[in-house]
Structure formats: structure tokens, C-alpha cells
Structure 1
Amino acid sequence: MTRGRLRVYLGAAPGVGKTFDMLSEGHRRASRGTDVVAGLVETHARPHTAELLEDIEVIPRRTVTYRGTEFEEMDLDAILHRRPQVALIDELAHTNVPGSKNAKRWQDVDDLLAAGIDVITTINIQHLESLNDVVASITGVTQRETIPDEVVRRADQIELVDMSPEALRRRLAHGNVYAAEKVDAALANYFRVGNLTALRELALLWLADRVDDALEKYRVDEGIEAPWHTRERAVVALTGGPEGETLLRRAARIVNRGAGGELIAVHVSRSDGLTGAPPGALEKQRALTETLGGTFHQVVGEDVAEAILDFARGVNAALVVVGVSRRPRWQLSLREGVGARVVRESGPIDVHVVTHERAGQGTLPQRAEVLSRNRRMLAWVVALLGPIALTGALVALREIHELPIDIMMFLSLTVGVALIGGLWPAVTVAVFGSLLLNWFLTPPYYEWTIADPQNAFALLVFVLVAVGVASVVDLAARRTIQAARAGAEAETLSALAGSVLRGENTVLAILERLRERFGMESVTLLERHDPHELWTTVECAGGRPCSSPEEGSSEVMISDTLALALRGPVLEAGDRRVLEAFAAQATVVLERERLREQAQDARRLEEGDAIRTALLAAVSHDLRTPLAAIKAGVTSLSQDEVVFDPGDQAELLATVGQATDSLERLIDNLLDLSRLETDTVRPVTRPAALDEVVPRAVSSVPAESVQLDVPESLPLLTTDAGLLERALANIVENAVRYSPAGEPVTVSAAVVRSEVEIRVTDRGPGVNEADKGSMFRPFQRLGDGGSGSGTGAGGSVGLGLAVARGFVEALGGTLTADDTPGGGLTMVLRLPLSAGEA
């Protein structure tokens, strides 16, 4: 069965006309004889949209009951049974009611497509999963219904439904999108001009990427290798050298001349891993690329020019930016540079060659010395003295051996010198040995002439073989040492990466590992805020830190403001790669630590701001209530023209007293919360008896509303009796408030193992299990919706339980909530006994 085709109308914002366009397309297809049905269309009471739906067959919705409420959903089975050619289905990102066949509507659509039914659907840009957080940061509204981008990308056709922000706001103002009572709020919040402009740009950019994918697929399907320059896409070839920043900024200016330009940086690494740019330099250029809005890529290739051009063709680039070679002109005359090859072989791709201040000032890279200085000195000593000693020995035994034996002995000496000190000492042995063989061991003796031509040929072959063998041995020895060094380097970098994966991701851990790797006395990370300021120490591993990079035996300038200084033995040039890798990793970890600290500070500020906002919202109401009662009572009593009898006066005074008590409790709790938030609660502990503390704590509530079960035999507690009394008073007042009439609150105490457990039990409505964790947070009003004893005492702003838990924790105890058997809530307060009391 042929799979159905999917057409998506993508809206830049709600109200731009996606459903209208979908219905118009449905009418167009129906007029051509296509069987079209409306699987599910939301008109949102918009008259023009509803008119378009009138002439289209509508599949009735099915009713789903969930938690006692009925919901209407698309009837997938009815559409499959009807089997139209085209189904119109609105709101692709919709979440189905639990109990439906699929969790999401896009999954329903996938079933229809699998059945061979074409689907035309709609979705807004804010529902795409990849853009959900971006849209939330722009509009302040988090979309809870999202859809994977890949679902929309797989569509056969995507059409953007767009409208200028001003035109869309006019539609709202005319009542064409929302009801009149919602228009002002929509215009002032979600539908601000800035929001709509940003959403429109997001939609255009996302769709542009989708068009790029479709174009690339077409080029692959049609076998088109030549680049199509549909946008200004520039590839910058980076070597990791100092000219990289100049190239990146020049390319950024080029792509920014027109809309839709794209900056792509690429660095080519060789496959052997033994060459390449310093990691620190590449990391800086990667960061600059991202700052300029581009992307950084690293590819592997033996032929750098070919790799650059292959990459440029692969990304359909219109331009390649390369720098003028750093090598002098005489070196370029011997071998063509990478830039010149890119220009010569670029074909239809333009090449922009950028000059820079380092052009022509470099040299060919020198081969690193892999053999130690002592080995090379020993090799030269053997190369000069060894042939003389060997010649003396062979001359003394000249009568018992012939020239081939002599040549083999000198060849063995040549190989030995090559193993010790490399190529040139071995070549010296070969040349010097051939001269000694000719003079002392080849007839006629002590003359440079050779009587037998075969002997002359043997000496020539000896020299050639000796040089060849020495070259091979030297190359093998160097490759062995290089491989060992590369293996050690790889092991070190692997250990570095492993330390991050294992959680050793602190700057100090990275510096300590670097110090151990190179046997340094100390490793110091230095920082300065301005290139003209003095350096300050961020972290130091080991002994005495360096106060500046110049104090170290080795240093890495990570940036103008960060540097790594090592105190200890001087490092070889070959160790710089590992050193710079450590430096780059330390920089990343430092930045991560600071971002984490900033995030924590932001969270604390956000929490404080939330508390202040809630405080203002709550106190603005809850302070007014007792104040209004006090003012009303005092105003009434102070009127001369009204004479109150003693009963009325007593009632008014009682009202004033109750309101004053309520106001006092509220202010006390606010002050206590402030002390807890600023961590200024300092308990003053003394021995205290619970049978004295508990009665004082419940004295503020009617005596008939509380029953006490606190034995006098309980051991003394070493605690702050005042804080404990305040905590108990808040808990008891809270419980009394929610207890039914005639059901007193029970306060009991007992010793359980090494703790004193105080239980405050009520028979109120209780608290849902999910709300028990949040009921101790300030300003929670769980009781407002009938959810039980969640509101704090001392006014209704929800401070009582938060203050109570804060005081109990300051005393070293815990406060938790349990269900009362048979209904209600039990607050359990546990305080530890001292060792002697336990």
C-alpha cells in the first residue's frame, strides 16, 4: 500500500490563518473531484473559518470520559473506516485524552498516512520541540504541547502561513481571532510586536533549514555534484595559526553583506595524529567562530587542499576563504602551498585569499628531535672512533679473513650507530668506513686505488646498502619513539577525559593531574580582567604558586586574560600539545564552575524574588483584614453621636482584640520567616520540660479545642524552649483551624528510641500526598481549595508551617506530615535526646 502524503501549514503565530488556508486547500481539491473529509477542525468560533467548513463532510468526534469529565477527540477509527482520499486535521501537536489509542495527534496522523490517506494539517512554530525553550524565553509562555521536529520535517510539503505583526494585531483588534473580552490581554502580552517579530523570524529560519534539506536531497537524488549557490555560504580554512582570527572576521563581513549568509570554519587534521595545530589555539578559534554566528568543523585528510574543497562541495559553499601562506617565497618555489592549490582546483567555487601580518614570515616546520642529546653524542663518538678501532682489529687479523667479512663487520657497525643516534652518524660511519676499507683492507694496501674491479663494486654496494639500512633503521627508531610518545599523549588525554566523566571536573583536579603528568613542582592558573592589570591566582596545584606567567619554567597563554604557569623542569616542544589540551580543559571547567555559580545565584535571587512577590500579594490582603476590623471597631467606639450599650461595646472590643492578636501573629511570623531566610536564628539551649512547654504553646487556642497527653515522666530536653513553643503554637493553631466542631486536636508526646516524638493530630480534611512536600513552603494556600491543613497559622498567608519547620530544624529536629487513621492530618515533631537523657 502506498503511504499517504502529508502537507503541513506552519503558522508563525496563532491567528495567522492556518486553518483557513487548510480549509481553502480542501475546497480546491474537492472541486477537482477529490474525496475530502474534515477529520477534526477547530474553528474557534471564527465566522469566516466556520463558513468554509460548512460544505465539507465532517467526521463526528468521539467522546472520552476522563476523571468524571467528558472530552471530545478525533475519531481515528471512523476516519480509517470511511477511508477518504484526503483528511483535514487541525492542531497536529495536540495531546490526546488518556485512554485514547495514541498519546499524540501526530501519531493518529501517522496511522492515517500508513493507511494510504493523504493528510493536510496545521501547527504553530512554538509547538516544535527544538524551539520550545526559545519561544518560552521570548514570550514568557511555556508550551506544554510539543511535537518532535522530525515529524514535521518528514512532511512532503510544508507551507509557511505568515503575516506581519501589525496586520495580525489589527486582526485581533477587529475581533477576528479571539473574543472581545480577551483581545486587550492578548495584545498586551503574547501578541506584542516584538514577540510576533521574533516568532516570525524563528519560523522563517526553521523553514529555511528545511528547504536546504530538500535541496540537498534533490541534488543527491539527481546526482548533481556542482554547488548551487542559493545562499552566501563561506568556508574558512583554518590552520590553527595566528592568522585564523583575521580570516574569520573577514569571512564574517562577507557573509553578513546579505541576508541568510552562513559562516563555516573547518580545520583539517592528518590521520596519523602526530601533526596538527595546538588545541588551545583551535579552541580559541572555535569560540570566535561561534561568537560570529558560525559553526566549527574538524575533518581528517592527508591532502589538506583536497579535504578543504571536498568539505566545501559537501556543504554547497559558494566561497572558500584561505590565508596567504606563512612560508617564505623561496620555500613556495620548491613546493606549492595549500592556498595556491585550493585556488587552482576550486572549479566553480570562488576563493578569497586574505593577506595578514604573518604572511611570508614563517619557516618550514623543523622535525622534532626524538632522540636525546646524550644518545646523539654517544652515536657521534662511536661513529668517529668505532671505524678506527674496527679497522685496527681487522688489519691485525687480515691474513685469516677476506674483504666480504670486513664489509659485513663495517655494515654491522653502521646499523648499530643508526640504532644509537640516527641517520647522520650512521652515514658518517658508512663513508668513513669505506675509506678505511679502501686504504687498509683492499689490495693494493695503503693506496686509494683498487686492483680488483669486484672489490670496487663491493665497496660501492657497501656504501649504498649502509646508507639505506641506516635510513630504514633511523626511521623505524624515530617512528617507535614517536609512537610511544603519541601513545603516552593519548593515554594522558584519555585519562584527562576520563577524569571529567568520573566527576573530577574541578579546576584544581585538572591542575593536579597536569602536575603529576609532567612532574612539576606547581601548576598555577592565572587570570586578569584587563591586559594591563596584574595577574591573580585562580587555582594552584602543588607548592609555591607563580604570580605571573614569566615566573614559570613553562607557560601557556590561553587568552589575553587567562594563562597557565608551570614551575619545574623545562618541557620539550613535543609536550606542548598535551599541555595546551590541559589548559583548554581547565578553561572549560573554570567557565562551567562560574556558570554553575551564576546559575545558583540566579536561582537564589529568583527564589527571593518569588518570596517577595508572594509576600506582597499575600500581605496586601491579609494585613488589611485585621487592620480593617481594628479600624472599624475603634471608629465605631469613638463616635460621640452613637451610644453603645455595654454588650455592644464588649463585642466591638473583643473584635478589636481578636484582630489585634491575628495581626500580631502575622507580624511575628513574618519576622520569624525573615530571620530564617537570613539564617540569623541562633537557639539558646537549656534543659526544658515538655509538660511545661506544651501547655504554654496551646494557650492561644480555646481550651476545649485541644486535648493534651504529655506525661510528666518524660526526660528533660536540652533545647530552646522559646523556639519550640513558637513552633508548637503554629502547628496547633493550624490544626485547630481545620478541625471540625466538636473534634478536639490531640497533642501527645512520647520517647521513641533516642528521640522525643510530639504528635499533633486533627480530624480535618487532610492533605493530598502530592501536596505534603510543598505545604511547608511559605505562602502555600493548600487549604483554600479544600485540600486540607496546608495554610499556616497567624493569618492566611501560609507562613505558620514554614516558620514551624524552620524553628524545628534549627533545634536539630524534624517536622513531617502523616495521615491520621480514619481521616485528618498528624504533624510529627521529633527532637533528639542528649546522650545522658537517652
Structure 2
Amino acid sequence: MARGRLRIFLGAAPGVGKTYAMLAEGQRLRALGTEVVVGFVEPHGRRPTAAMAEGLETIPRRTLRHRGARFTEMDLDAVLARRPQVALVDELAHSNVPGTRNAKRWQDVEELLDAGIDVVTTLNVQHLESLNDVVRQITGVRQRETLPDEVARRADQIELVDLPPEVLRRRMVHGDIYPADRIESALTHYFRVGNLTALREIALLWLADRVEEGLQRYRAEHGIVAPWETRERILVALNGGPEGETLIRRAARISARTPGTELLALHVVPEDGLTHVDPSVLDAQRTLLESLGGSFHQTTGEDVVEALLQFAEAENVTQIVLGASRHGRVASLLRAGVGERTIKGSGPIDVHIVTHEEAAASATLRLPRPGNGMGPRRLGAAAAGAVVLLPLLTLLLTVVRGPMGLAGALVLYLLVIVVVALVGGVVPALLAAVAAALLADYSFIGPVHSFAIERPDEIVALVVFVVTAVLVGTAAGAAARHTRQAARAIAEARTLSRLAAGVLRGQDLPALVEMIRENFGLSAVSLLERDPRASPVPRWYVVASAGDHPPERPYEAEVESPVDDLLTLAARGPGLSSQDRRLLDACAAELGLAHARGRIARPAGVGDPLADAERTRASLLLAAGRDLRAPLRTAEDALGRLRRRGGERAPDERRLLETARAAVHRAAQLVTDLDDLSRLHAGALDLYLRPVDLNEAWGAALDDLGPGGHSIVLRLPAYLPDVIADAALLTRALTALAADALRHSPPGRPPVVTAETHDGRVAIRVADGSGGEGAAVAGRSGSRADSLALRLSRDLAEAMDGSLRTSGRGSAFTVTLSLPSSAPGRPRRGRRPARPT
């Protein structure tokens, strides 16, 4: 029996019309004579959606009881017994009620597909497992129902149902998505324009990747190697030299001429995993590339041209931009340059050679620099050289036999052996010495063209030649080996010295981790710390990370270097040699010292009586909050029902009702904050430390404040780096600080928010407009600094490796929140502030 086909209508957010599109497709198939049944559809009270389902055969749902409540789910057995050609099943990522055969609806769909039934379904992009954390960072909401990406990848057809954010928000205002009591909250939280735009971009990019995967799979199945110019992809080859910026700008100008062009840059790291260029130069070039809309990549390979062309074929590159060769004419005659070899092997890929100031800077003859290892490639090159050079030299000496005697021939043979030793080491040199002695005996010692020797002095000459060749070849091979070892030692010393200098200068851990990633050519690196409390499953926290998709658990890494029992360095990237692993262990130890130094510098507060009193006070507040949770929830529900109940009310009564409802909601939120704070102190609150856009965080905080947040003045720099924080906790801390400043600011003097970057940290200052003399403010600062709002913000900041301090300056009370920057010393282009100044 053939497996059924799966078609998914994918949306970026609820309300874009996925269910409506699925039902419309069902109606179209039914009109064509296809057997279509509705296995499960959830219209969510939307009349147009329910109307579109009319006329379609619907399988009755199955009713189940769970914890005293009744729920309905798709009746899988009934759909299988009906055996339609097509089944419409809504909400693919839905979790079934306990008691059903499968825990997830996608597992029900798999059974339908295995039975040969085609399925049309719906899915929101935030439910994809790989994007769950990204969506949480953007929206502050963790999706509990997730779908493995592999299930969606196996779909035969994925169709995007898309709406612009403004249109979706209009639908929300008109009541086409949520009930009236949920509209205001949705518009100010999940359905903000920034959130919807980001989710829409994520959906488009994810679907574009699936289309690209399908194209690559088709080309692989049909053996198509030549790139297809579905869109222009321009690749810049960077060697770490100063000409890199010229090449990037030239490639960006080429890219700008064709809309939709993708700009990439590649740096090939030597096979030993250590870069031999200044990382700061590559760092500056990557910053320039990203500012021009490009993406930076690194790969490892012994041969630059081969690695470059393999990457170009894998990424379907259509054009390559190279710098003109630095070698002079004589050197170019001995060995073809990278540009010439790339042009010969590029096939249909266009290659641009760009001139620069460093091109042909010197025309001196330079011998090829010995490589960094004696791998099969170098041994093969040495053997090939001996096989070619020795017969060629023998033929040449045979032609000019008159002026050249046996002694001269042996000297020239010895020169070839030295070259072979330099390239391939001792073993090829020994074999070349034996072969040279046999060729000399056969061609120049009588009787000629035989291996017999008539004269004793010629025997002595051959023996002396072989011994000399062995000694010289051994010495040359050892010298080459020692040269490579010295170069390796210099590279290792340079790596460790840079890292140690960064530690001594007080660089933040993210910068040190990025330095390690650059030096070893790794794709992603994380410094992970394990929760010291015993638990069945160890819990790990990301202390610092660098690269794309850094590992969050040791088992997710391809390379792991433990520092101690609680700290480990995890990395993704090419496999490292044993020497590289030892060097990585040393770098990990340096990171451990830097991490310990930061901890020692932080006030521990262990054994402090004030800290003990604070913990006791927090536990009492937590107990009281838990006792108040149920009555507050009951009061909030009762006020909500009174508010929704119809009938005429006096203005004062409505105002009092709204005031009471707001007060109860604030008290309930305070209890929730206290609960989260206690879990944070106990280490039970999950932290997701990632780069967070400060402008987006402030936008979310001001939206949470409601109309009062519009009066706050934001004076944030146009270019501000991201901060390393948990997006949800940062928003909560900023909301608490802003609300406290609003409460203490007189009318007409709103709070002012500023920010600046210093020493790899971002300082956020919230100053209210409280009146009075400076002495009076300073006198109040002690009691106000102990308020619950500021204590909550301080604890949240410290949980994210930040700090919070208060001060009374002039007529204003100022709170300064300091957090680590994601790009210390290198501001990243940010978005404009969410509020006008």
C-alpha cells in the first residue's frame, strides 16, 4: 500500500487563515470528485471558518474525561475505518488528552499516512522544535506544544499562509481572531508589530531553506554538479590580509546590481586548525561584511583552492571574488597562484580577480614554505617528485654526458634527494637515494646499461654517495620537521598569549570564547557550567558562547574539554588533532581561571547576617504570597465577570470597578514575581541567556506598562550592542524599574532612560523627575532602594550576571542597570528605539 501524501499550510502566527485555507482546499478537492472528510477542525468561534466547513463530511469527535473535565479529540479509529482519500486535520502540533492512543496529533497523522490516506493539515512556525527557543526570545512566551522538525521536513508540500503584520492586527481589532476580552492584551504583547514581523521573517526563511533543501536533493539524485543560477550567490575569498576589505566592498557592489543576491565570505583555516593571521583583521572584515548584509563562513582544508571550490559547489555559488596574486612573475612560473587554479577548476562559476595595493608587492623568488604535517598528500607529492625528477635528470645527463662526469651526476642527484627530503621527510629521501644510486650505476658506470661495476673506485663512489645522501636527507628531513614543530610552537604560544592577555585586560568571557573559536576554526563554542546540586539529570547553564547555534549541553558538542567537575568547554566544528586537543585544554583552563576570577570579584555575601535576614524575609513573603494566590485569583475572576456583565452603571461605579480590577491584577502579578524570585534563588528558574536587543526589550516593557509607559522618554543611542540576558527576565526588570520611576515622578517631569557602553558592558540608567533638594533625595535613597520593585530588579539582574545600583543625583533618583554586552568593544548595528525621544 502506497503511503499517503502530507500537505501543510504553514503560518507565522494565529489568525493568518491557515484553517480557512485548509478547508478551502478541501472544498476544491470535493468539487473535483475526491472523497474528503474533516477529521478535526477547530474554528475558534470564527464564523467565516465555520462557514467554509459546511458541506464537508465530518467525522464525529471522540469525547474523553480528564481530571473531571470533558474534552474532545479526533477519533482516529473512525477516520481509519472510513478510509477517505483525503482527511483534513487541524493543528498538527496539538497534544492529545491523556487516554488517547497517541500523545501527539502528528502521531495520529502518521497512522493516517501509513494507511494510504492523504492528509491536509495546519501548523504555526512557533511550534517547530528547532525554533521554539528563538520564538521565546522574541515573544517572551515558551510554546508548550512542539513538533519535531523532521515531521514537517517529510511533508510532500508546504504552503505558506501569509498576512502583513498590520493586516493581522486589524483582524485582531475587528474581533476576527480572539474574543473581545483578549484583544487588548494580545495587541500589546504577542501581536506587537515587531513580534509579528520577526515571526513572519522566520517563517519565510524556514520555508526558503526547505525549498533549497528540495533543490539540492533533486540535484544530488540526478547527479547535477554544475550550479543552477536560481539566484545569484557571490562568494568572497578572504585570506586574512589587508586587501580583504577591498574585496568585500567590490563584491557588495556586484551584489547590489542584482536584487535578491546573497553575499558570502569564506576564510580557509589550515588543516592544523590554527589560523596564521591576526584574528582582529578577520574580525573587522566580518563586521564590515555583516554591515553590508553578507554572512561570514570558515572551513578547514590543506588546499585553499580545493576547500574554496567545495564550499562554492555546496552553497550553489554563481560568482567568486578573489584578490590578485601577491607572487611575482618568477614565483608564478614555479607554482600557479590561487586565482589561476580557481579559474581552471571553477567550471561554470564566474571568477572575478580584483586588483589591490598588496598585489605583486614583491618579485623576489621564494621557495615554497613547508607545510604543517607529513600527511598522505605530502608523501605522495614527494614520491611523485622523485619519480619525475630522477628519470628526467638521468635523461638530461645522458644527453650532456661529455662534459659531465660521474661526480657531477652524483652531486645533481644529491640535490634532488635534498628537495625530496624537504617535501616528504626521511622515508621518501631514503628511497630516492637508493633509486638514484641504481640509475647512476645503470647509466654512467661501465658496463653501461647494466648494474655490473668494473672499477673498485666507482663502487666506493656509489657507497659514499648513498651514505652521504642518507645523511643529508635525514638532516634535511629533521630540519624540515623541526621547522614545522617550531612554527607549531609559535602558533600555540601566540594563541595562549593572546588569550592570557585578554584575561589580564579583563575581557568578558564572550570575547575570550570568540577568540578561541577564531583560533581553532570552530563553528560554535560554549562555556557550560553544571548546577552543583545533585539531580537525576544534570542541569547545565551557558556561561558564555560564540558562533552560530552554540551547544547548550555537553552531549550536543562534537568537541568537549572539561575544566573541572562543574565547568566544561563544548564546541562544534571540524575534528581536532591530539595536539589541537591539548592546546584546547590549555585554553579551557585559562577560561576557567577567568570565570573563577569573575566570581571572586563578585561579592559573595556568604555568612553575612544581612544576607541571612534577607533570605528569611524572602521566605516569609513567599509563604504569604502562596496563601494569597487563591483568593486573588478568585477576586480577579469575580471582577472580570462583573466587568463583562451588561447593564447600566454609573461612571463612578465603572471607575471603581476598573481600579479594583487593576489593583487585584497588580497584587496577583506581585505574588507571581515573588514566586519566580524564590525559584530563582533556589536555582529552579530556567535562564535562557542569549543576545537580546535592548530596544525591543524596552518596547515590550513600555507596552506592559500600558498608557503610562508612553510618557517615559527614551534616549538610547542609535547604535547599541545587544546585551547577554534572558529576554523575559530582562523585560520584567525593566518594567519594574520603569513603573517605580513613574510612581515617583511628578506630573510634567517624566522619567528619562539613557544607555551607554563601557568596558564590554551596557549601562542602562533610569532617572525619575522627583523634585526636592539633592540632600533630601539622598536621604530617601536608602529606603527607596530597599523597595520591593528595586529588590526584584536587582536579583533578576544578578541572575543574568549583571548589577544594579541606585544613587540620588540633584533632583532625580537614578537606577543604573549594568549587563554584559554581546560584542564587547565592537558595537553592533542596532534598531532604532521603540519610543521617540
Q: Which has the larger radius of gyration?
A: 1
TM-score (norm 1): 0.49
Higher relative contact order (CA 8 A, sep 6+): 2
TM-score (norm 2): 0.49
